[in-house]
Chains A and B, each alone.
Chain A
Amino acid sequence: MIEAHELTKRYGSKVAVDHLTFTVRPGIVTGFLGPNGAGKSTTMRLILGLDRPTSGSVTVDGLPYAQHRDPLKVAGALLEARAVHTSRSAYNHLLALAVTHGIRRSRVDEVIDFVGLDQVARKRAGAFSLGMGQRLGIASAILADPSNLLLDEPVNGLDPEGILWIRTTLRELADEGRTVLVSSHLMSEMALTAEHLIVIGRGRLMADMPTQELIARSSGQVVVVASPDAARLREALAGPDVTVTDAGPDRFEVRGLAAGAVGAIAARVGAVLHELTPQQASLEEAFMTMTRDEVEYHSHPIPPETAGGAPDRSAA
């Protein structure tokens, strides 16, 4: 269980994490979602005591991480930036970590086997591909069989098979009663992996709710209707809370009425229906709507060249 209370981190004048309060519960996979630069990695570093909070606090299983006597047993982490000496072999890297907690050597071989790095375990980690580096990171995260797992963008650089493997592994770990916090900027990935979502933007908490609820809430109520009797049906649907917008010939979108209600009205006025589709927003859309104003680096369209040349150019 990870509990953050009013967690805040400033770097100079820049606020990376802004009064975050949340709880990550055991038994489920919690997605930690936000655009790049939203403060996900900083929050993870604060949880692990790598960075000191400017104010507020965060505990892992009831204590600040650094106060645990067997920290690796409490939390295992895969941090986004590589945390491995490039000239050391994967085996020795894991062994050095294991030795700090008196973990037997054979455990190192076991986790290496588990992540599938046994053939390269004696090679220098600097020669690893991104995907292999991620696997090594996962091996170090599970080394001491921790009750909390923090994984920062774990699917980065993994092939489809590796991604599937991560998903299953995370589910299993959560099913065993562990707390699993996985960050990502990929909403589609989180929709498949996480049961609960914590969404942040510019360091602030934007949502903390079950994945399904987040999707449902952001969907609004949009029903796509196609009918040869479009004009008549639109008239019948009109009401104070209902908006109807065009969506092509004989097609329109209805906001403010459920699909069933639209169908009932169509039957009453005798309008033929070719299509009646309730739209569910994807998590992607939900997220985009929510964080539109919170992304740090927007891309702006390049203004088109003015035809005929700019007037000030002739003056020069």
Chain B
Amino acid sequence: MTSPTLAQRPASTTRPSDVRVGRVTFGRVLASEWVKFRSLRSTWWTLLIAVAAMVGISALISWARNARWSQMPPREAAAFEPIITSLRGVDLAQLAIAVLGVLLISGEYATGMIRSTLTAVPKRLPVLWAKTLLFAVVTFVSMLVSALAAFLVGQQLLASHGTTLSAPGAVRAVIAVAGYLTLVGVLAVALGFIIRSTAGGIATLVGLLLVAPGLGQLLPSDWQPHILPYLPSNAGAAMYTVRADPTLLSPGRGLLTLVIWAVVAVVAAAVLLRRRDA
């Protein structure tokens, strides 16, 4: 495939000497998950796409807004808000994060790696906690940096229409975008454990994040306020939106709603992981 020298040499007849073996601890499971995370090239590509989407798409939108400022229809001009404009890449970044979260576990089921993982950690649940924690930390750190970069680049490109980090709501919006993406990541890992297949997991997440809000518009209008704001993507929008929007929850309630989504998914994943055959 890659090289013609891909061959084995005869096995050795002298077995390696004694080795000290410790107990399985949560810290060790976490370290093992980190080895697995960093040793797949697809991890880094997908994460790079998330960063590129967050910074690149945001910059592009900011640049376009400024370049076409004079041609903007009055309604759009009235709705313009520089902080959100410079963070608009979140819409695409969430997909990359969702894909990566699902892949972290569906890749193990697809290849059979899960059997090795659960033979090393037969209590199973530490694997779920470790994967979730690891991915949450990686996502939060990388997306916080990306969102901050997107904001700073975006405000530069918006030029006179831009604002600064000291504007009311700016810091909260940057942190909230990273927080939203982190919770989407947690939801994705949990769904990966529940659904086990890459295609199924990604389809479910795309449905939940992108399709459900659109479908919700078809509901009777008096139902909508009771359902739509609680969908994950709308709860997320509530977290990072700066200008008050009557169709959305308050930032705090948006965060709470999304946390509940994530917790319910993780608990369901835990129950199924313990109960099902690997």
Binding site for B on A (CB under 8 A): 45, 48-52, 65-66, 68-73, 77, 79, 81-89, 92-93, 95-97, 99-104, 107, 110-111, 113-120, 123-124, 127-128, 131-132, 135, 140, 142, 144-145, 161-162, 165, 168-169, 172
Smallest distance from the beta carbon of B103 to chain A beta carbons, Å?
10
B12 close to A114 (CB less than 8 A): yes
Smallest distance from the beta carbon of B125 to chain A beta carbons, Å?
11
Cα(A73)–Cα(B10), bound, Å? 26
B111 close to A86 (CB less than 8 A): yes
Tell me the residues in window 5-26 of chain B with beta carbons closer than 8 Å to chain A beta carbons: 5-25
Could you jot down 18 A-B contacts, CB within 8 Å?
A: A49-B118, A49-B122, A50-B277, A69-B23, A82-B111, A85-B111, A86-B111, A87-B40, A89-B39, A93-B116, A113-B16, A114-B14, A114-B15, A114-B16, A116-B10, A120-B8, A124-B2, A127-B2
| Chain B contacts for A101, CB-based, 8 A | 21-24, 28, 120
B19 close to A145 (CB less than 8 A): yes
Q: Counting chain A CB atoms within 10 Å of each CB, which of B2, B5, B121, B124 scores highest?
A: B121
Cα(A101)–Cα(B122), bound, Å? 12
Smallest distance from the beta carbon of B24 to chain A beta carbons, Å?
5
Cα(A79)–Cα(B24), bound, Å? 21
| Chain A contacts for B161, CB-based, 8 A | none
Q: 18 more A-B contacts (CB under 8 A) besides A49-B122, A102-B25?
A: A50-B119, A69-B23, A69-B24, A70-B21, A82-B111, A83-B113, A87-B42, A93-B116, A100-B32, A101-B21, A103-B20, A104-B19, A111-B16, A114-B11, A119-B8, A131-B8, A135-B8, A145-B21
Smallest distance from the beta carbon of A146 to chain B beta carbons, Å?
9
Smallest distance from the beta carbon of B183 to chain A beta carbons, Å?
26
Judge whether B112 is part of the interface by a CB distance below 8 angstroms: yes
Judge whether B172 is part of the interface by a CB distance below 8 angstroms: no
Cα(A114)–Cα(B24), bound, Å? 25
When the two chains form the complex, which single residue of A96, A97, A117, A120 contacts B39, counting CB atoms closer than 8 Å? A96
Assuming the contacts A110-B16, A114-B12, A120-B8, asked whether A95 and B35 have C-beta atoms less than 8 A apart, the reply is yes
Smallest distance from the beta carbon of B58 to chain A beta carbons, Å?
30
Instruction: Name the CB-closest residue of B to A87.
Output: B40
B21 close to A135 (CB less than 8 A): no
Smallest distance from the beta carbon of A278 to chain B beta carbons, Å?
38
B6 close to A102 (CB less than 8 A): no
| Chain A contacts for B216, CB-based, 8 A | none
| Chain B contacts for A48, CB-based, 8 A | 119, 122
Judge whether B108 is part of the interface by a CB distance below 8 angstroms: yes
| Chain B contacts for A79, CB-based, 8 A | 112, 115
Assuming the contacts A51-B278, A100-B28, asked whether A165 and B122 have C-beta atoms less than 8 A apart, the reply is no
Smallest distance from the beta carbon of B197 to chain A beta carbons, Å?
15
Judge whether B36 is part of the interface by a CB distance below 8 angstroms: yes
When the two chains form the complex, which single residue of B17, B19, B121 contacts A144, counting CB atoms closer than 8 Å? B19
Judge whether B107 is part of the interface by a CB distance below 8 angstroms: yes
A135 close to B20 (CB less than 8 A): no
Smallest distance from the beta carbon of A5 to chain B beta carbons, Å?
19
| Chain A contacts for B115, CB-based, 8 A | 50, 79, 81, 83
Instruction: Name the CB-closest residue of A to B124.
Output: A66
A116 close to B11 (CB less than 8 A): yes
Cα(A119)–Cα(B3), bound, Å? 12
Smallest distance from the beta carbon of A140 to chain B beta carbons, Å?
7
When the two chains form the complex, which single residue of A89, A99, A120 contacts B7, counting CB atoms closer than 8 Å? A120
A72 close to B116 (CB less than 8 A): no
A107 close to B11 (CB less than 8 A): no
Cα(A81)–Cα(B36), bound, Å? 20
Cα(A69)–Cα(B21), bound, Å? 11
Cα(A82)–Cα(B111), bound, Å? 7
Cα(A82)–Cα(B110), bound, Å? 11
A84 close to B7 (CB less than 8 A): no
B32 close to A99 (CB less than 8 A): yes
| Chain A contacts for B22, CB-based, 8 A | 70, 101-103
Judge whether B41 is part of the interface by a CB distance below 8 angstroms: yes
When the two chains form the complex, which single residue of A45, A103, A110, A168 contacts B13, counting CB atoms closer than 8 Å? A168
| Chain A contacts for B118, CB-based, 8 A | 49-50
Smallest distance from the beta carbon of B99 to chain A beta carbons, Å?
15
A127 close to B1 (CB less than 8 A): yes
Judge whether B243 is part of the interface by a CB distance below 8 angstroms: no
B36 close to A165 (CB less than 8 A): no
| Chain A contacts for B194, CB-based, 8 A | none
B6 close to A66 (CB less than 8 A): no
